[in-house]
Structure formats: C-alpha cells, structure tokens
C-alpha cells in the first residue's frame, strides 16, 4: 500500500506542495478557504501526517512519561490512574516505565522517555538513586518534570507529596490510644525522605506522649513480606517484646502478622499492627490491616494539574510548586482493640 503524501494532495488540487504543507500546519499565511480545502482533501485521501516529524517541528508530542519504581504497587498504579484521568481530557497520552528501584535503570528510562519526545515527565525516584545528572538533563532540555511521592530537592522542580510525618504521627497516636506502650517501628530506607519523615513522625509521637524510645524497637526493613517476618522474629526475642508495631510498609506489616499468627500470638489482642500505603490486599487479610492511605489518585491528579500549569504559556514556566497532601489513617482490625475509634 502506498502512503498518501503531500505531493499527491498537491497534484490533486493543482497547488504547490509547500502550500499544502503550510495549510496542513494551519499556517495563517494561507487563506482559510485553502486551508479548509486542503484538510478536507487530505482527510478524503486518508493522508496520515507524520506525527513524529510534526513533534520534532512543533516540539509537542502530546505524550507524557511516568517513571515509577514498581507499577504493580497499588499506590503507584493509582497515582498513574490519577495522572491519566486528569490529562486525558487535555489530549495527552501516557507512557510508563518502571525502574524496579534501580538507579541505572532510572537513567536509561529517562533516556527512553526523552527519545520518545515526551512533553513532560512525572517521576518517583528509585531508592538507589544518588546523583541527579539524568534529571538535570531533563531540566536542561526545558522539559517539565514533576516529582511525586519520592522526590529529590532540586531548585525549580515542582513536587506533589504527602505529609508522611503526619501519617506516621497519627498512626502511633492511634496505637497509644489503644493502650499500647512499647511501640516498635519497621523503618524503611531513610535515604529516602518519605521513610525519614515516617521515622521522625514516630519519634515525635512517642515524645509527645512521654513514651520511652528504645533502639531495640527500631528494625531496618525493606518493603518485602519476608523482611517483616524476619523483623518481628527479632523483636519477639527481646526480653520485653513490643505490644505494637508501626510499620513503614504494608508488606512488612503483613509479614509480621503472618509470623505472629503462626506462633499463636494474637493480633490485635497481644500486639497491635499498623502498616502504610493502603495496598489493596490490606482489606482482604485476616485481621484486616490498619494502614495510612496516601490519597494516590488525588496525588496523580494534582501532579497533572501542576504539569498543565507549567506548560500554560500564560503563566510563568518557572513556577515551582510544592504540594503536600494530607494522608488518611484507616483503622482496621489489626490494631482496633477498643472498637471505639
């Protein structure tokens, strides 16, 4: 099948190819009548514009890229959904890359998105990312970049995050209200601000309620189920085991619950557990799991709005927005002793 070119249209209408090209690009130098005629003819002849060539020319591909550590985590897939829902009516399409928390893969994915001529990049940085040269490249090219959830502090870059400190504080406060006094913490990788904030929110709640802080009660974990299993085993061997765990991750909280049930320790009667992220499985476990909802769809929609503002030429391109959303504590059976909250 031969593709219809602008030369075919030019021949048919007996006007120059340059005029056809200008008309197709809606150039006001060509009369409205001619523009309409050319477009109508192009449509009739099934002419297909080379949108890539067009993108190179106009600098717009109407595609944005989203970079996440794992696209199958409920949190990230919901943020993506929020971005898609907000950008779709504006004619934008979304392509997604995942880094699996690998810094090298993050660099390569940024290149892939740049090569795909995206108009903007939304990203949540990988746990292992240290330098930001690849991010600097995006900024040098003048492509809007918006961080969500996991961010780096870079001048001029907007971000949409949630108040992790407060999410942690609310969780620990709730555990204290359930009568818990020896509250342990499954701590994430505090190279990432979100985990540092959760840790600090935990500490602040203990201090405010005059509860003792013990190093033995802080266990370093990654966001895997097995990591939670190992961590709770360690805690339960202590001379004075904790009566609650505030976990920085739903996956480690799940690992703890599974292990405790196996050894006959009752949740929440003997020990209260709370997680973080409101992963979809937390509503299906037994007991159902207390967690912190990070309002990911809202986060996605808000990130998209920040992007739309940035590309709006009426507004300055140099705006830097730092949006911080409020998380929501979801109290379920794994920590609810009193049934009162």
Which residues of the shown chain bind a copy of itself in the complex (CB under 8 A)?
Answer: 1, 51-52, 55-56, 61, 63, 65, 71-74, 77, 80, 84, 93-98, 108-109, 111-113, 115-117, 140, 254, 258, 280-281, 284-286
Query: Closest distance between a copy of itself and the C-beta of residue 108, in Å?
Result: 6
Nearer to a copy of itself, 18 or 52 (CB): 52
- Closer residue to a copy of itself, CB minimum distance, 56 or 315: 56
Instruction: Count other C-beta atoms under 10 Å from residue 59's C-beta.
Output: 11
Of 206, 196, 194, 195, whose CA–CA distance to 169 is shortest? 206
Nearer to a copy of itself, 55 or 323 (CB): 55
CA dist 222 and 100 (Å) reads: 13
Q: For residue 278, what are the contacts with CB-CB under 8 A and spacing of at least 6?
A: 74, 75, 250, 291, 292, 293, 294, 330
The contacts of residue 53 (CB under 8 Å, 6+ apart) are none
- Please tell me whether residue 122 adopts helix, strand or coil conformation: strand
Output phi, psi for 18, to 5 deg. -60, -40
What is the nearest approach in angstroms of a copy of itself to the Cβ of residue 187? 23
Nearest approach, Cβ of 30 to a copy of itself (angstroms)?
Answer: 25
Please identify, using beta-carbon distances, which residue of 52 and 315 lies nearer to a copy of itself: 52
Q: Which residues of 99-119 are buried (b: 16+ CB within 10 A; e: fewer)?
A: bebbeebbbebbeebbeebbb
Cβ 107 to a copy of itself shortest distance, Å: 11
Which C-beta is closer to a copy of itself: that of 34 or that of 77? 77
Note whether 253 and 246 are within 8 A (CB): no
Tokens of 170: 């609310």
Closer of 100 and 181 to a copy of itself (Cβ): 100
| Cβ 51 to a copy of itself shortest distance, Å | 5
What do you get for the CA distance between the two ends of the chain, in Å?
68
Shortest Å, Cβ 110 to a copy of itself: 10
| Residue from 92, 96, 87 nearest 67 by CA | 96
State the nearest-atom distance from the C-beta of 117 to a copy of itself, in Å: 6
Cβ nearer to a copy of itself, comparing 258 with 328: 258
């Amino acid at each position: 099948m031969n593709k219809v070119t602008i030369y075919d249209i030019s021949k048919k209408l007996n006007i120059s190819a340059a005029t056809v090209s200008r008309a197709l690009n809606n150039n006001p130098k060509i009369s409205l009548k001619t523009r309409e005629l050319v477009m109508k003819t192009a449509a009739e002849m099934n002419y297909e514009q080379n949108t890539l060539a067009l993108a190179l020319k106009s600098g717009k591909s109407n595609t944005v890229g989203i970079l996440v550590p794992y696209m199958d985590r409920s949190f990230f897939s919901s943020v993506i959904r929020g971005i898609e829902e907000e950008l779709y009516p504006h004619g934008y399409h979304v392509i997604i890359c995942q880094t699996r928390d690998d810094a090298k893969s993050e660099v390569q994915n940024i290149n892939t998105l740049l090569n795909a001529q995206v108009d903007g990049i939304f990203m949540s940085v990988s746990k292992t990312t240290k330098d930001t040269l690849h991010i600097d490249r995006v900024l040098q090219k003048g492509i809007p970049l918006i961080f969500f959830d996991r961010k780096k502090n870079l001048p001029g870059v907007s971000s949409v995050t949630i108040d992790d400190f407060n999410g942690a504080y609310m969780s620990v406060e709730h555990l204290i209200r359930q009568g818990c006094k020896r509250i342990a913490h499954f701590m994430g990788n505090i190279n990432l601000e979100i985990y540092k904030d959760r840790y600090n929110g935990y500490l602040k709640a203990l201090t405010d309620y005059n509860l003792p802080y013990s190093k033995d009660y802080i266990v370093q974990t990654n966001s895997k189920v097995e990591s939670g299993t190992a961590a709770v085993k360690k805690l339960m061997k202590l001379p004075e085991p904790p009566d609650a765990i505030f976990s920085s991750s739903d996956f480690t909280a799940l690992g703890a619950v599974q292990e405790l049930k196996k050894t006959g320790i009752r949740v929440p009667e003997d020990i209260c557990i709370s997680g973080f992220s409101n992963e979809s499985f937390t509503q299906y476990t037994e007991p159902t799991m207390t967690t912190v909802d990070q309002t990911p769809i809202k986060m996605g929609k808000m990130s998209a709005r920040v992007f739309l503002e940035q590309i709006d030429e009426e507004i300055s391109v140099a705006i830097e927005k730092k949006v911080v959303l409020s998380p929501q504590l979801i109290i379920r059976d794994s920590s609810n002793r009193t049934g009162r909250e």
